[in-house]
Amino acid sequence: MEKNEKLEKVLARIKHKVLVFSGKGGVGKSTIAANLALALADKSMEIGLLDVDIHGPNLAKMLGVENKRMYTSDESTIQPVMVTENLKLVSMSFLLQSETSPVIWRGPLKMKVIQQFLQDVAWGDIDWLVVDSPPGTGDEPLSVAQLIPATGAIIVTTPQEVSLLDSRKAVNFARKLNLKILGVIENMSGLICPYCGNEIKLFKEGGGERISREMGVPFLGRVPIEPEIVESGDSGKPFILSNPECRASKAFATIVEKVIGSEQ
Protein backbone atom coordinates (compact mmCIF):
# COMPACT_ATOMS: atom_id res chain seq x y z
CA MET A 1 0.00 0.00 0.00
CA GLU A 2 1.06 3.59 -0.59
CA LYS A 3 2.63 5.45 2.30
CA ASN A 4 0.06 7.34 4.34
CA GLU A 5 1.77 9.94 6.53
CA LYS A 6 -1.43 10.92 8.33
CA LEU A 7 -2.11 7.31 9.33
CA GLU A 8 1.51 6.80 10.35
CA LYS A 9 1.33 9.78 12.73
CA VAL A 10 -1.78 8.33 14.36
CA LEU A 11 -0.29 4.84 14.71
CA ALA A 12 2.95 6.24 16.15
CA ARG A 13 0.96 7.35 19.21
CA ILE A 14 -0.47 3.84 19.81
CA LYS A 15 1.83 1.52 21.76
CA HIS A 16 0.10 -1.82 21.19
CA LYS A 17 -2.45 -2.97 18.61
CA VAL A 18 -4.42 -6.20 18.79
CA LEU A 19 -6.95 -7.66 16.36
CA VAL A 20 -9.61 -9.91 17.91
CA PHE A 21 -11.13 -12.16 15.27
CA SER A 22 -12.41 -15.65 14.59
CA GLY A 23 -12.73 -18.13 11.78
CA LYS A 24 -16.51 -18.34 12.14
CA GLY A 25 -19.40 -16.47 13.70
CA GLY A 26 -21.16 -17.14 16.98
CA VAL A 27 -18.08 -17.74 19.12
CA GLY A 28 -18.44 -14.66 21.35
CA LYS A 29 -15.67 -12.66 19.74
CA SER A 30 -17.22 -9.23 20.45
CA THR A 31 -17.79 -10.22 24.07
CA ILE A 32 -14.10 -11.06 24.34
CA ALA A 33 -13.05 -7.79 22.67
CA ALA A 34 -15.31 -5.64 24.87
CA ASN A 35 -14.16 -7.27 28.09
CA LEU A 36 -10.50 -7.16 27.03
CA ALA A 37 -10.72 -3.42 26.37
CA LEU A 38 -12.47 -2.75 29.69
CA ALA A 39 -10.07 -4.95 31.63
CA LEU A 40 -7.11 -3.05 30.17
CA ALA A 41 -8.79 0.28 30.88
CA ASP A 42 -9.40 -0.85 34.45
CA LYS A 43 -5.62 -1.05 34.85
CA SER A 44 -5.42 2.75 34.38
CA MET A 45 -4.21 2.49 30.80
CA GLU A 46 -5.48 4.58 27.88
CA ILE A 47 -7.46 2.27 25.60
CA GLY A 48 -9.02 2.58 22.15
CA LEU A 49 -11.65 0.10 20.96
CA LEU A 50 -12.35 -0.02 17.23
CA ASP A 51 -15.38 -1.93 15.96
CA VAL A 52 -14.73 -2.81 12.31
CA ASP A 53 -17.71 -5.15 12.09
CA ILE A 54 -19.35 -2.81 9.58
CA HIS A 55 -22.48 -4.91 8.99
CA GLY A 56 -23.10 -6.06 12.55
CA PRO A 57 -21.62 -3.60 15.07
CA ASN A 58 -22.52 -4.70 18.60
CA LEU A 59 -19.95 -3.12 20.90
CA ALA A 60 -21.93 0.06 21.59
CA LYS A 61 -24.82 -2.05 22.93
CA MET A 62 -22.51 -4.28 24.96
CA LEU A 63 -20.85 -1.25 26.56
CA GLY A 64 -24.08 0.64 27.26
CA VAL A 65 -23.39 3.60 24.93
CA GLU A 66 -25.68 2.78 22.01
CA ASN A 67 -27.50 6.11 22.31
CA LYS A 68 -24.37 8.22 21.95
CA ARG A 69 -22.93 9.63 18.71
CA MET A 70 -19.51 10.44 17.29
CA TYR A 71 -19.06 13.97 16.02
CA THR A 72 -16.60 15.95 13.91
CA SER A 73 -14.64 18.78 15.51
CA ASP A 74 -13.58 22.04 13.86
CA GLU A 75 -10.36 20.38 12.70
CA SER A 76 -12.41 17.82 10.72
CA THR A 77 -11.34 15.18 13.20
CA ILE A 78 -13.77 12.49 14.36
CA GLN A 79 -14.26 12.47 18.13
CA PRO A 80 -14.75 8.94 19.51
CA VAL A 81 -17.37 8.06 22.09
CA MET A 82 -16.01 7.90 25.64
CA VAL A 83 -17.17 4.72 27.37
CA THR A 84 -15.13 5.51 30.49
CA GLU A 85 -12.64 8.29 31.15
CA ASN A 86 -9.87 6.24 29.54
CA LEU A 87 -11.73 4.02 27.05
CA LYS A 88 -12.62 5.40 23.61
CA LEU A 89 -14.93 3.57 21.20
CA VAL A 90 -15.38 4.02 17.45
CA SER A 91 -18.13 2.04 15.74
CA MET A 92 -20.33 2.14 12.67
CA SER A 93 -23.33 1.91 14.99
CA PHE A 94 -22.80 5.55 16.01
CA LEU A 95 -23.37 6.65 12.41
CA LEU A 96 -26.59 4.73 11.69
CA GLN A 97 -29.99 6.42 11.66
CA SER A 98 -31.40 3.63 13.79
CA GLU A 99 -30.21 0.38 15.30
CA THR A 100 -32.16 -1.54 12.66
CA SER A 101 -30.60 0.28 9.68
CA PRO A 102 -28.60 -2.16 7.52
CA VAL A 103 -25.23 -1.28 5.99
CA ILE A 104 -25.27 -2.47 2.38
CA TRP A 105 -21.70 -1.88 1.20
CA ARG A 106 -19.16 -3.63 -0.97
CA GLY A 107 -15.52 -4.19 -0.04
CA PRO A 108 -13.87 -0.95 -1.29
CA LEU A 109 -16.24 1.25 0.68
CA LYS A 110 -15.66 -0.76 3.84
CA MET A 111 -11.90 -0.43 3.35
CA LYS A 112 -12.29 3.35 3.06
CA VAL A 113 -14.34 3.76 6.23
CA ILE A 114 -11.96 1.55 8.24
CA GLN A 115 -9.09 3.76 7.08
CA GLN A 116 -11.07 6.83 8.17
CA PHE A 117 -11.79 5.24 11.55
CA LEU A 118 -8.04 4.94 12.02
CA GLN A 119 -6.50 8.08 10.54
CA ASP A 120 -9.28 10.64 11.06
CA VAL A 121 -10.18 9.82 14.67
CA ALA A 122 -8.75 11.71 17.65
CA TRP A 123 -7.28 8.61 19.26
CA GLY A 124 -4.48 10.55 20.94
CA ASP A 125 -1.83 8.73 22.96
CA ILE A 126 -3.15 5.28 23.84
CA ASP A 127 -1.55 2.17 25.29
CA TRP A 128 -3.73 -0.40 23.52
CA LEU A 129 -5.92 -0.31 20.44
CA VAL A 130 -8.27 -3.32 20.49
CA VAL A 131 -9.88 -4.02 17.12
CA ASP A 132 -13.03 -6.14 16.98
CA SER A 133 -13.39 -7.72 13.54
CA PRO A 134 -16.30 -9.65 12.02
CA PRO A 135 -15.85 -13.42 11.64
CA GLY A 136 -13.95 -14.88 8.75
CA THR A 137 -10.89 -13.84 6.78
CA GLY A 138 -12.46 -11.26 4.45
CA ASP A 139 -12.37 -7.50 3.86
CA GLU A 140 -12.35 -6.18 7.42
CA PRO A 141 -9.50 -8.19 9.04
CA LEU A 142 -7.55 -7.93 5.79
CA SER A 143 -7.93 -4.14 5.81
CA VAL A 144 -6.76 -3.91 9.43
CA ALA A 145 -3.75 -6.14 8.74
CA GLN A 146 -2.76 -3.98 5.75
CA LEU A 147 -3.35 -0.62 7.44
CA ILE A 148 -1.79 -1.38 10.83
CA PRO A 149 1.67 -2.98 10.69
CA ALA A 150 2.86 -5.23 13.52
CA THR A 151 -0.65 -5.91 14.78
CA GLY A 152 -1.07 -8.68 17.32
CA ALA A 153 -3.84 -11.22 16.77
CA ILE A 154 -6.11 -13.03 19.21
CA ILE A 155 -8.15 -15.86 17.72
CA VAL A 156 -11.39 -16.79 19.46
CA THR A 157 -12.87 -20.26 19.09
CA THR A 158 -15.35 -22.58 20.78
CA PRO A 159 -14.44 -26.18 21.61
CA GLN A 160 -16.49 -28.04 19.01
CA GLU A 161 -14.82 -29.37 15.88
CA VAL A 162 -16.71 -27.17 13.38
CA SER A 163 -15.29 -24.06 15.06
CA LEU A 164 -11.81 -25.54 15.38
CA LEU A 165 -11.62 -26.19 11.64
CA ASP A 166 -12.17 -22.50 10.92
CA SER A 167 -9.77 -21.51 13.69
CA ARG A 168 -6.95 -23.31 11.90
CA LYS A 169 -7.73 -21.17 8.86
CA ALA A 170 -7.67 -18.04 11.04
CA VAL A 171 -4.21 -18.94 12.35
CA ASN A 172 -2.91 -19.42 8.81
CA PHE A 173 -4.53 -16.14 7.74
CA ALA A 174 -2.67 -14.32 10.53
CA ARG A 175 0.61 -15.95 9.54
CA LYS A 176 0.28 -15.07 5.86
CA LEU A 177 -0.31 -11.43 6.80
CA ASN A 178 2.63 -11.40 9.23
CA LEU A 179 0.46 -10.75 12.27
CA LYS A 180 1.96 -11.59 15.63
CA ILE A 181 -0.31 -14.29 17.06
CA LEU A 182 -0.75 -13.49 20.75
CA GLY A 183 -2.79 -16.63 21.23
CA VAL A 184 -6.04 -18.58 21.07
CA ILE A 185 -8.94 -18.18 23.49
CA GLU A 186 -11.38 -21.06 23.94
CA ASN A 187 -14.71 -19.35 24.67
CA MET A 188 -17.90 -21.10 25.86
CA SER A 189 -15.70 -23.77 27.40
CA GLY A 190 -18.23 -25.49 29.62
CA LEU A 191 -21.52 -24.23 31.05
CA ILE A 192 -21.60 -23.27 34.73
CA CYS A 193 -24.97 -24.43 36.09
CA PRO A 194 -26.64 -21.51 37.92
CA TYR A 195 -28.35 -23.91 40.34
CA CYS A 196 -25.67 -26.36 41.44
CA GLY A 197 -22.51 -24.59 40.27
CA ASN A 198 -21.24 -27.69 38.46
CA GLU A 199 -19.73 -27.47 34.99
CA ILE A 200 -21.44 -29.06 31.97
CA LYS A 201 -19.30 -29.82 28.90
CA LEU A 202 -21.87 -28.27 26.56
CA PHE A 203 -19.54 -27.87 23.55
CA LYS A 204 -16.84 -30.31 24.69
CA GLU A 205 -13.57 -28.93 26.11
CA GLY A 206 -9.91 -28.62 25.23
CA GLY A 207 -10.25 -27.96 21.50
CA GLY A 208 -8.68 -24.52 21.69
CA GLU A 209 -5.67 -25.86 23.55
CA ARG A 210 -5.31 -28.66 21.01
CA ILE A 211 -5.39 -26.18 18.12
CA SER A 212 -2.74 -24.06 19.82
CA ARG A 213 -0.52 -27.09 20.26
CA GLU A 214 -1.02 -28.32 16.69
CA MET A 215 -0.43 -24.89 15.15
CA GLY A 216 2.44 -23.92 17.44
CA VAL A 217 0.79 -20.78 18.88
CA PRO A 218 0.16 -19.71 22.51
CA PHE A 219 -2.97 -20.82 24.34
CA LEU A 220 -4.37 -17.95 26.40
CA GLY A 221 -7.05 -19.86 28.29
CA ARG A 222 -10.68 -20.97 28.54
CA VAL A 223 -13.75 -18.87 29.37
CA PRO A 224 -16.84 -20.82 30.54
CA ILE A 225 -20.46 -19.90 29.81
CA GLU A 226 -22.36 -18.30 32.68
CA PRO A 227 -25.82 -16.67 32.66
CA GLU A 228 -24.22 -13.47 33.95
CA ILE A 229 -22.30 -13.07 30.69
CA VAL A 230 -25.50 -12.93 28.64
CA GLU A 231 -27.21 -10.62 31.11
CA SER A 232 -24.26 -8.26 31.34
CA GLY A 233 -23.88 -8.03 27.56
CA ASP A 234 -27.55 -7.19 27.09
CA SER A 235 -27.51 -4.61 29.88
CA GLY A 236 -24.33 -2.88 28.69
CA LYS A 237 -22.27 -3.94 31.71
CA PRO A 238 -19.54 -6.39 30.62
CA PHE A 239 -19.08 -9.33 32.94
CA ILE A 240 -15.45 -8.80 33.95
CA LEU A 241 -16.44 -5.62 35.81
CA SER A 242 -20.06 -6.31 36.77
CA ASN A 243 -19.39 -9.87 38.03
CA PRO A 244 -15.70 -9.96 39.01
CA GLU A 245 -16.11 -13.01 41.25
CA CYS A 246 -17.70 -15.34 38.68
CA ARG A 247 -15.57 -18.09 37.16
CA ALA A 248 -15.61 -16.49 33.71
CA SER A 249 -14.28 -13.19 35.07
CA LYS A 250 -11.49 -14.89 36.98
CA ALA A 251 -10.53 -16.95 33.92
CA PHE A 252 -10.60 -13.86 31.75
CA ALA A 253 -8.47 -11.86 34.20
CA THR A 254 -5.75 -14.49 33.80
CA ILE A 255 -6.03 -14.22 30.00
CA VAL A 256 -5.65 -10.43 30.16
CA GLU A 257 -2.41 -10.78 32.15
CA LYS A 258 -1.05 -13.17 29.48
CA VAL A 259 -1.99 -10.71 26.71
CA ILE A 260 -0.19 -7.87 28.49
CA GLY A 261 2.83 -10.08 29.11
CA SER A 262 3.02 -11.13 25.46
CA GLU A 263 3.62 -7.53 24.39
CA GLN A 264 6.26 -6.68 26.98
Burial category of 218 from C-beta neighbours within 10 Å (exposed 0-12, middle 13-18, buried 19 and up): middle
pLDDT for residue 97: 73
Model pLDDT for residues 108-143, shown as the tens digit of each residue: 888 899 999 999 999 999 999 999 998 888 889 999
3-state secondary structure the chain: CCCCHHHHHHHCCEEEEEEEECCCCCCCHHHHHHHHHHHHHCCCCCEEEEECCCCCCCHHHHCCCCCCCCEECCCCCEECEEEECCEEEEEHHHHCCCCCCCCCCCHHHHHHHHHHHHHCECCCCEEEEEEECCCCCCHHHHHHHHHCCCCEEEEEECCCHHHHHHHHHHHHHHHHCCCEEEEEEEEEEEEECCCCCCEECECECCHHHHHHHHHCCCEEEEEEECHHHHHHHHHCCCHHHHCCCCHHHHHHHHHHHHHHHHCC
Nearest to 140 by CA among 169, 117, 166, 124: 117
Nearest to 248 by CA among 96, 31, 68: 31
Task: Report how far residue 133's alpha carbon sits from residue 125's, in angstroms, rounded to the nearest whole number.
Answer: 22
Model pLDDT for residues 145-183, shown as the tens digit of each residue: 889 877 899 999 988 877 788 899 999 999 999 999 999
**Cα angle vertex 101, ends 70, 137, to 5°?**
85
Question: Where does the pLDDT of residue 212 fall: very low under 50, low under 70, confident under 90, or very high at 90 and above?
Answer: very high
Are 169 and 35 contacting, i.e. CB atoms less than 8 angstroms apart? no
pLDDT for residue 2: 53
Q: Does the pLDDT value for residue 245 go beyond 90? A: no
Domain positions in the chain = 5-262
Q: Does the pLDDT value for residue 106 go beyond 90? A: no
pLDDT for residue 231: 79
Mean pLDDT (the chain) is 89
Task: Report how far residue 219's alpha carbon sits from residue 237's, in angstroms, rounded to the nearest whole number.
Answer: 27
The mean per-residue pLDDT over the stretch 2-25 comes to 89
CATH 3.40.50.300 corresponds to the domain 5-262: yes
pLDDT for residue 1: 47
User: In terms of DSSP bridges, do strands 199-200 and 180-192 run parallel, antiparallel, or are they unpaired?
Assistant: antiparallel
| Neighbour tally for 251: CB within 10 Å | 18
Q: Does the pLDDT value for residue 195 go beyond 50? A: yes
